């Protein structure tokens, strides 16, 4: 059984067609990336899988459960990091993690274990006891990533996990994700416009543009298929604008 199975997914926001029928599958333990320009439909896809939006057409399953009909069950399997997200300002970082751990854990022992992992993943050290309102963007993002991963979900859905961060923070976040994926065997679905990030992290990627998947494969396969040196070139050629070479 695949971890994620998406078939002909469509989503309209009023007149705007955000998704025009996309299909892909993610194997268990895989890190899968969606890449594409602004407005391509990445966030929309992830929100449907995270049970936030209902698709207009097609269907999506996570570990065999339908995202619409079995939304409550799905929420127990996944954890979702939104593209733009914050934490409760009046809580400290530690209280925020504790709040989340209590909701996911079955008992005190589980929750203590989650806390331990969360504290480690966040890398915030002593600052965890400060109010979230005093955190920088990078610190908040690390806290949110830590909370998404510490519950050891079956599937982690991360929408541009390192967007808007400086090189150092982005690097730490990517490293955290990669190490966590290796050690825990969690399945990842993430979106990005950063091709470097995707090459660094993903086993397979889907190129998405204007609500359609235009190609799909491992970074290596894609580079070979388009005779490109990196995924950026792959992408430009795939959408048919890579004709000009500067060499």
| Torsion angle in degrees (nearest 10) through CA of 109, 110, 111, 115 | 100
Q: Is residue 213 within 8 Å of residue 23, measured between CB atoms?
A: yes
Q: Does 89 bind other proteins (CB under 8 A)?
A: yes
Which of 45, 79, 191, 192 is the binder for other proteins (CB under 8 A)?
Answer: 79
**Distance (Å, rounded) from C-alpha 92 to C-alpha 112?**
17
Would you count residue 173 as binding other proteins (CB under 8 A)?
Answer: no
Cα(196)–Cα(186) distance, integer angstroms: 21
Q: Which stretch binds other proteins (CB under 8 A): 99-107, 165-173, 205-213, 237-245?
A: 99-107
- Collapse the DSSP code of 9 into the 3-class scheme (helix H, G, I; strand E, B; otherwise coil) and give the result: strand
Residue 143: phi and psi, rounded to 5, are -60, -45
First to last CA, the chain: 45
Residue 44 binds which entry of other proteins, Mg ion, ligand ATP, none, with Cβ cut-offs from 5 to 8 Å by kind? Answer: ligand ATP
* 192 binding ligand ATP? (CB under 6 A): no
**Which one of Mg ion, other proteins, ligand ATP, none is in contact with 134 (Cβ closer than 5 to 8 A by kind)?**
none
SS3 at position 232: helix
Task: Please identify, using beta-carbon distances, which residue of 43 and 122 lies nearer to Mg ion.
Answer: 43
CB of 13 to other proteins, least distance (A): 7
| Binding status of residue 136 toward other proteins by CB under 8 A | no
Give the sheet arrangement for strand 204-209, strand by strand: 78-81, 155-159, 187-192, 31-35, 204-209, 212-217
In the complex with ligand ATP, the residue whose CB is nearer, 9 or 97, is: 9
For ligand ATP, the binding residues (CB under 6 A) are: 13, 16, 18, 36, 38-44, 83, 193
**Chain residues in the site for other proteins (CB under 8 A):** 13, 38-39, 47, 50-54, 72, 75-76, 78-82, 84-91, 95, 99-100, 102-104, 144
């Amino acid at each position: 059984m695949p971890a994620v199975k998406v078939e002909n997914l469509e989503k309209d926001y009023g007149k705007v067609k955000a998704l025009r029928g996309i299909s892909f599958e993610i194997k268990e333990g895989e890190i899968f990336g969606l890449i594409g320009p602004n407005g391509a439909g990445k966030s929309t896809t992830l929100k449907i899988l995270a049970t936030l939006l209902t698709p207009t057409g097609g269907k999506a399953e996570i570990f065999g459960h339908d995202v619409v009909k079995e939304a409550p069950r799905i929420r127990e399997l996944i954890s979702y990091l939104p593209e733009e997200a914050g934490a409760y300002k009046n809580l400290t970082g530690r209280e925020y993690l504790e709040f989340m751990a209590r909701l996911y854990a079955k008992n005190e022992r589980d929750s203590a274990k989650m806390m331990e992992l969360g504290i480690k993943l966040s890398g915030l050290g002593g600052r965890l006891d400060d109010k979230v309102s005093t955190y920088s963007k990078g610190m908040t993002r690390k806290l949110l990533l830590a909370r998404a991963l510490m519950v050891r979900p079956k599937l982690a859905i991360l929408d541009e996990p390192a967007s808007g961060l400086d090189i150092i923070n982005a690097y730490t976040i990517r490293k955290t994700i990669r190490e966590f994926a290796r050690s825990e065997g969690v399945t990842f679905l993430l979106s990005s416009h950063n091709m470097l990030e995707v090459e660094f992290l993903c086993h397979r990627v889907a190129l998405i543009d204007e609500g359609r998947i235009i190609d799909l494969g491992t970074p290596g396969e894609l580079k070979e298929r388009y005779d490109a040196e990196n995924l950026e070139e792959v992408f430009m050629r795939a959408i048919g604008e890579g004709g000009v070479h500067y060499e």
